[in-house]
Amino acid sequence: MKAFWDRKEKPYVLIVFLLPFLWMLGSLLMGQYFPDPGKLLMRLSGIWACVFVAAALSVTPLMKIKRFNWLVRYRRFVGLSAFFYSMLHLVIYLLLFAGLSWRWIRSDLVEKPYIYAGVFALLVLLALAITSTKKMMKRLGRNWKRLHRLIYLATIAIVLHLWWQVKGDTSLAVIFTVVFVMLLGLRLISNRKKLKKTIVSATI
Ligand code: HEM
């Protein structure tokens, strides 16, 4: 019964997570982003990638509250959405910014070193997406948790990516830094509590 419910529910959940993408695609096709669609789409895809990274970091602390237990069902979807919107951000960069010219990308990398921080975060998200299946979880055992802790490093890289490119307006960098610092802080506190508990139970 539960499996049937999950299967029935999944397409709707998928549509919800795809809504920002569908909205961007629709606006692009209706010509709303012209004359410079690349610039705006780059910003929007980056913002949605950050939103889903923040959502992925929120799931575990929220699940500690009984009322939000059901979130466990969507944890993988949220993480995969963070990866999806980051990939979209990269595809927009390659197509609309670079026009698939490797020579252009090489000179852009010299001008914009913050791209390396973005690439690092994306590679981490890729590794987490590949290992997000139940099969991989079993295969990696204890190392799965260790690997998935890389999300903290990816988040720091994203903050770096945002601040490094600031020219005038800092609002986006400030908003996401505050959100990420709060979420990473929550994780740190909860990990410390867990460590204390294991030390206490080991000494009893
Ligand atoms: C291969 C990886 C990445 C590349 C090549 C890349 C490249 C870029 C570039 C070139 C810009 C500036 C666009 C402009 O000049 O208007 C930018 C902005 C942005 N990126 Fe990335 N990025 C990458 C990964 C990421 C990731 C993983 C995230 C978040 C999860 C992210 C979030 C953002 C955001 C929010 C902005 C907009 C910042 C603003 O307008 O203030 N990027 N990225």
Angstrom distance (rounded) from CA 131 to CA 88: 20
Confidence of residue 1 (pLDDT cuts 50, 70, 90): very low
Q: Which atom of ligand 1 is nearest to the CA of 108?
A: 10
* Whole-number average pLDDT of the chain: 92
Is the pLDDT higher at 103 or at 201? 103
CA contacts within 13 A on the Cβ side of 82: 31
Average pLDDT over residues 150-176: 97
DSSP readout, 86-147?
HHHHHHHIIIIISTT-HHHHHHHHHH-THHHHHHHHHHHHHHHHHTTSHHHHHHHTHHHHHH
SS3 170: coil
Among 161, 162, 164, 175, which is best to mutate for testing ligand 1, by the most ligand atoms less than 8 A from CB? Answer: 161
Angstrom distance (rounded) from CA 45 to CA 27: 13
In this structure, the residue with its CA closest to atom 24 of ligand 1 is 118
Predicted TM-score (pTM) of this structure: 0.93
Confidence of residue 106 (pLDDT cuts 50, 70, 90): very high
The reply to whether ligand 1 has any atom less than 6 angstroms from the CB of 43 is yes
Residue 133: pLDDT over 70? yes
**pLDDT digit string (tens) for 44-66?**
999 999 999 999 999 988 988 88
The reply to whether ligand 1 has any atom less than 6 angstroms from the CB of 158 is yes
Angstrom distance (rounded) from CA 180 to CA 192: 18
Q: Which atom of ligand 1 is nearest to the CA of 173?
A: 41
Rounded to the nearest angstrom, the distance between the alpha carbon of 45 and the centre of ligand 1 is 8
**pLDDT digit string (tens) for 73-86?**
899 999 999 999 99
In 3D, which of 85, 95, 89 has the Cα closest to residue 19?
A: 85
Residue 5: pLDDT over 60? no
CA contacts within 13 A on the Cβ side of 109: 11
Residue 4: pLDDT over 70? no
Task: Specify the pLDDT at position 112.
Answer: 97
Residue 38: pLDDT over 70? yes
